[in-house]
A and B are shown apart, each in its own frame.
Chain A
Amino acid sequence: MRTSTTRSAALLAVAALGLSACATGGDSGGSGDAGAGDASSSETNSAEAYEPKEGGAGGEVGVFTWWADGSEKKGLDALTAEFEKQYPNDSFVNLAVAGGAGSNAKAKLASDLENDNPPGSFQGHAGAELTDYIAADQIEPVNDVMAALGGSDVFPQDLLDRLTVEGDIYSIPSNIHRANVVWANPKVLKEAGINEPPADMEAWLADMEKVKESGVKTPLHIGGTWTQVQLFETVLLSDLGPESYNGLFDGSTKWDSEGVKTAVSHYKELLGYANTASDGDDWPPSIDAVYKGDAAYNVMGDWAVAQFTENDATEGEDYTYFPVPGTDGVFDFLADSFTLPKGADNPDGSKDWLMTVGSAEGQLAFNKAKGSIPARTDVAADEFPEYQQSAMEDFQSDTIVSSIAHGAAVPLAWLTDVSSAVAKFYSAQDEEAMVSDLTSAAEKHGQ
């Protein structure tokens, strides 16, 4: 009852707002609306650009994330401050659920959505993971917000394509991370006589041997299952190249092809140089191990910078980074994005939130604090620290592929099967079983 009355009130408000906006020429809190008219690309269903009310629609906006501490919390706080500045009428309600990589949060969210008790907006990995919600009819298209923000004029078309299903855009991306980065300890490498980043997997394995001979027992550091999936995906990318890697998800590359088999045996050799990990291990210990020189390398997304910073490590001296060998010029991306759940109590408040998330000011404030890079292409790079500047440059020029481990390339159900295969391989080290597990997962969930 309450919901339906507030909803009709909101509809009235929108109608009134539309009229007044026409009269006054509108004021879209900080978002450049120059390109709003022609924003929708050829493939996107066109929609009227959303016109936020002056100061916001009012009411509460509950925002669900798993950004509960560390640099993520700081990012969310910065974004919230920006939201309150742009839309002072709306009040932000933080519904964050703690827990690494959203493992607890996703379970809570799933039951809230199932029980028709959706938050005002929730965080989701852009790409395939979001299609679970889209297919289940749990989130609404946000073409109008995207149009108001400027669409492909301000967001990369590559990225928008990955958010689009049958012509509708379902979320507003907030930030981009890169997954194919090796973090290394330059002192350890120097000791082992390594001065150049290796060019491909074979060269990298040879370097690992050198590091091992120099007295470091575990040249490579790994964590729990998802970090292993991420490592494996970058090996796949290195051995297959971006085109065949993308083909893994649309059926044009077979999971039992030679390239995949090579990647699996490379991956097995890599594990031979790694520490012993258990399924549930977290990622920060790996970064600490590289920093302390217990290991030379770790493959981790670029959120690792925050962990180095926490250790007061200096770039170049205490740590260095390069793309996973063989993936130079490729950007293995994952992105967070925000959605408009179906049946949200205050859809206009939610849209105001999405406007902030997608605005240049919001992306600047958020990404500077979180250590990621903006999804928008028009945010000035010189405001960011060194690593982020280089990542922004790469994101513009590199070939973009989607991360498996972080839900950009495959939906959750598929990812779960890939994770089991990787976890099984970690203990059994059976290459054939791994290939056949991956193949049957692709048959079950793919095309």
Chain B
Amino acid sequence: MQRPKNWLPGLLMVLPSIILVGIFVYYLIAQNIWTSLNVATRRVVVGGKFEERSIHEGGYRNYTELLGSADYQHALWNLLVLTVVFVVGTMIMGLLWSILLEKGVRGEGVFRSIYLFPMAVSFIAAGVVWRWLLSPAKGEGAAIGLNQLFVKLGLDGLQSSWWSADSRWNMAAMALPAIWQLSGYIMALFLAGFRGIGEDQREAARIDGASEWQVYRHVLFPQLSPIALSALIIVGHMSMKMFDLIYAIAGPNSYTASVPATLMWTQLFAQRDPVAAAVNATIILVIVAVVVVPYLWYTNRTERERG
């Protein structure tokens, strides 16, 4: 307290962002949660007369109501399938590409750019193209996009209805464009990780008689685990909030491809039900927090241990 000039300038520097974040993030989160607990009625016109109708009872029942609805469970299941396939797919593709590049291919720079390019395309633009590629029409003449390619190659058996399929696993197809788009990014993360490990460590392992697999398994991969964890969190939380790609591919208000984020759009704009949308938003926030908060806590702790 005697020497305010030590902390005062620092505080003044960060104060604007504290205030802005306070209002635009935390206050709005609080407001959203408050909205989600509201009792809601709606004035409707029935048979040419106005009528006041209750649509939400308020309190925790708003949550049980939404979580209990079949449409929402369908959306949550879709999200789970999408997230698992998307995360596993990008991690595998990203790791594979980075190992290939790390082995010292000729023209590495060219390949690196090619793999990274999809990330420069916006989800909406990519979605428009993928919507066509993943068209469900099948058979000679009717098929377009990937199915047409399969027909032309004589691989008719590979044709699929993609995300329009009548299957609990249809959202796995929706993960394809997302994997295509983000694998390059994961590759770049891993590649940076590999480059950060000195050549001397590999040499040492090889001199000790380690096979190439053992070098990766026991020397390189363990040192990549923080990067893998970050990559996992980044891709995972992107998947949970995914809206634009699905909107572009399946159109607004698609039931088949609905996930909580697209359902929120439907609730707010088509059903004009801000309370249900707020409940949904809070649930999405909780789902993301369940993944991200332990990660933040973990990084904080490891950094403190190191520091």
Residues of A within 8 A of B (CB): 103-104, 106-107, 110, 128, 131-132, 134-137, 161, 164-166, 217-218, 224-225, 250, 275-281, 294, 411-413, 415-416, 419-420, 423-424, 426-429, 445-447
Is residue B255 contacting chain A, with contact meaning CB distance below 8 A?
A: yes
Complex A-B: 8 CB contacts under 8 Å: A103-B252, A132-B272, A278-B250, A279-B254, A411-B45, A412-B270, A413-B273, A447-B47
Q: How far is the CA of A164 from the CA of B47 in the complex (A)?
A: 10
Q: How far is the CA of A280 from the CA of B127 in the complex (A)?
A: 12
How near does chain B come to A183, taking the closest CB pair, in angstroms? 19
B257–A279 CB distance below 8 A: yes
Known: A131-B45, A276-B136, A278-B136. A110 touches B272 (CB 8 A): yes
Is residue B196 contacting chain A, with contact meaning CB distance below 8 A?
A: no
Is residue B188 contacting chain A, with contact meaning CB distance below 8 A?
A: no
Tell me the nearest residue of chain A to B53, going by C-beta. Answer: A445
A224–B164 CB distance below 8 A: no
A-facing residues in B131-169 (Cβ within 8 Å): 131, 134-139, 141-142, 161-166
Q: How far is the CA of A280 from the CA of B135 in the complex (A)?
A: 10
Chain B: interface size category: 35 or more
A135–B164 CB distance below 8 A: no
Known: A278-B135, A278-B136, A278-B163. A416 touches B50 (CB 8 A): no
Interface string of B262-295 (1 = CB under 8 A from A): 0001101111110000000000000000000000
Known: A106-B269, A134-B45, A416-B271. A277 touches B136 (CB 8 A): yes
Tell me the nearest residue of chain B to A224, going by C-beta. Answer: B251
B252–A166 CB distance below 8 A: no
Known: A166-B49, A412-B270, A412-B272. A280 touches B251 (CB 8 A): yes
B254–A423 CB distance below 8 A: yes
Contacts of A412 in B (CB 8 A): 270-272
Query: Which of B138, B250, B266, B273 contacts A279 (CB under 8 A)?
Result: B250
**4 residue pairs, one from A and one from B, having the closest CB atoms:** A280-B251, A423-B255, A131-B45, A427-B166
B164–A427 CB distance below 8 A: yes
- Interface contacts beyond A136-B272, A294-B141: sample of 10 additional A-B pairs, CB < 8 Å, sorted by A: A103-B252, A106-B269, A106-B270, A275-B137, A279-B256, A281-B251, A420-B255, A427-B165, A447-B46, A447-B47
Contacts of B255 in A (CB 8 A): 225, 279, 419-420, 423-424
Q: How far is the CA of A57 from the CA of B170 in the complex (A)?
A: 57
Contacts of B71 in A (CB 8 A): 420
A225–B254 CB distance below 8 A: yes
B166–A428 CB distance below 8 A: yes
Q: How far is the CA of A423 from the CA of B265 in the complex (A)?
A: 17
Q: Kindly name the residue among A166, A278, A423, A427 whose own CB sees the greatest number of chain B CB atoms within 10 A.
A: A278
Contacts of B48 in A (CB 8 A): 161, 164-166
Q: How far is the CA of A135 from the CA of B53 in the complex (A)?
A: 11
Q: How far is the CA of A429 from the CA of B165 in the complex (A)?
A: 12
Tell me the nearest residue of chain B to A43, going by C-beta. Answer: B48
Is residue B253 contacting chain A, with contact meaning CB distance below 8 A?
A: yes
Is residue B15 contacting chain A, with contact meaning CB distance below 8 A?
A: no
Q: How far is the CA of A166 from the CA of B257 in the complex (A)?
A: 40
How near does chain A come to B126, taking the closest CB pair, in angstroms? 15
Is residue B306 contacting chain A, with contact meaning CB distance below 8 A?
A: no
Q: How far is the CA of A393 from the CA of B70 in the complex (A)?
A: 46
Tell me the nearest residue of chain A to B74, going by C-beta. Answer: A424
Q: How far is the CA of A263 from the CA of B239 in the complex (A)?
A: 40
How near does chain B come to A38, taking the closest CB pair, in angstroms? 22
Is residue B44 contacting chain A, with contact meaning CB distance below 8 A?
A: yes
Query: Which of A131, A413, A423, A428 contacts B270 (CB under 8 A)?
Result: A413
Contacts of B131 in A (CB 8 A): 278, 280
Known: A217-B139, A276-B164, A279-B250. A107 touches B265 (CB 8 A): yes
Q: Kindly name the residue among B135, B162, B163, B271 whose own CB sees the greatest number of chain A CB atoms within 10 A.
A: B271
B250–A218 CB distance below 8 A: no
Contacts of B106 in A (CB 8 A): none
A278–B164 CB distance below 8 A: yes
How near does chain B come to A197, taking the closest CB pair, in angstroms? 26
Contacts of B164 in A (CB 8 A): 276-279, 427
Is residue B42 contacting chain A, with contact meaning CB distance below 8 A?
A: yes
Contacts of B175 in A (CB 8 A): none
A-facing residues in B9-48 (Cβ within 8 Å): 42-48
Contacts of B50 in A (CB 8 A): 135, 165-166
Q: How far is the CA of A418 from the CA of B161 in the complex (A)?
A: 23
Is residue B249 contacting chain A, with contact meaning CB distance below 8 A?
A: yes
Tell me the nearest residue of chain A to B52, going by C-beta. Answer: A135
A250–B47 CB distance below 8 A: yes
Q: How far is the CA of A83 from the CA of B245 in the complex (A)?
A: 41
How near does chain A come to B278, taking the closest CB pair, in angstroms? 14
